[in-house]
Structure 1
């Protein structure tokens, strides 16, 4: 099924609802507006309620989506012990940047474009996810000394997310996973422990040069 082109004249005006012009346009084109409106009304907040805050507090990882000023996207994983994601208040979430992040892809994007999307998923117990979208900024360690003192790993800086949207990710396609004990090489510079050349990119590039 082909879709009409999204233009300024064909797209619906942005109403007092969450979401982009594009999603409202597709809702109209595909006749899902009623379902979407119910979802916005029933499930989308502009803050974290107490149940969401408790969920964030027990997560051990989060997927972070950012984009640069040109809209080029990046998705990354942040992980730590339960509690490494911290809810300051209903509209503010903070997560640490630990030693070992040398590329700075996410942070670099945030410097150009503060919009950030976070997805936290419980794969083991409740099989449910939480989306948090908002604006992000980079903060010095000294801004949250009460958090740094609780960290076992070295925090180099914080990312502060101002919550604009918070909503559920439904469980129907979330796989159940069983945690197993493993040694995590937090902050290591050992190439092998970091994964080495698992996808053979370095080896293939060298082979091309040698050829």
Structure 2
């Protein structure tokens, strides 16, 4: 079944709801409006409630989505020990940018377009996720107290939407000790050229 073309024929009463014009259009076109309206009413907040704040505080990873001024997208992973994501208050979350990020893809996007989407997932215990969407800004390392010398700066997100990601398709994963090949010069073991892009280019340049 092909999707209909986006038009301006969505119901005016959906303009006040969370979400984009595109999702509202598809809800009407595919007859899911009632289900979506219930979800918005039951699950979508413009802040973190205490249960959400506790969830963020124990997460060890977050997926971050950004886009530049032209809408070109990027997604990335941020990870650290539980507590590396800071809940400043019910409407503010911060995460660190660590030393070693030379490309600055997500930070560069935030400079052009402050809208960000965060997804945190508990793969091990509760099998549940939390979406946090908002507007981001980059602040100096000194903005928040930290003893982690790897932190160079912070991204502060002003929460605009927070809602559950249901467990239906979340796989269960078992945490294990991580093996890191810090003392090797083998680029594949370190992960820097895991997919062989640099090796292939060097090989092609020599041929």
The two structures share one fold, judged by TM-score above 0.5: yes
CA distance in 1, matches of 2:17, 2:119: 21
Superposed CA offset, 1:125-153 (max 9, x none) = 00000000000000011222x3x23x3x4
CA distance in 1, matches of 2:130, 2:150: 27
1:10-159 aligned within 5 A: 10-13=9-12, 15-144=15-144, 146=145, 148-149=146-147, 151=148, 153-159=149-155
Q: Secondary structure at the match of 1:173?
A: coil
Contact 1:60 1:82 in 2 (8 A): yes
Contact 2:123 2:171 in 1 (8 A): yes
Q: Which runs of 5 or more structure 2 residues have no equivalent in the other structure?
A: none
* 2:161 equivalent to 1:195: no
CA distance in 2, matches of 1:202, 1:3: 40
CA distance in 2, matches of 1:18, 1:31: 17
CA RMSD of superposed structures (Å): 2.0
Contact 1:66 1:115 in 2 (8 A): yes
Q: Which runs of 5 or more structure 1 residues have no equivalent in the other structure?
A: none
- Number of equivalenced pairs: 205
Superposed CA offset, 1:159-185 (max 9, x none) = 000000000000011010000112457
* 2:172 equivalent to 1:173: no
CA distance in 1, matches of 2:196, 2:95: 32
Q: Secondary structure at the match of 1:135?
A: strand
Q: Secondary structure at the match of 2:152?
A: strand
CA distance in 2, matches of 1:165, 1:189: 44
Return closer, same or farther for 1:136/1:194 CA change in 2, 3 Å cut-off: farther
Contact 2:10 2:28 in 1 (8 A): no
Q: CA deviation at 1:207?
A: 2.4
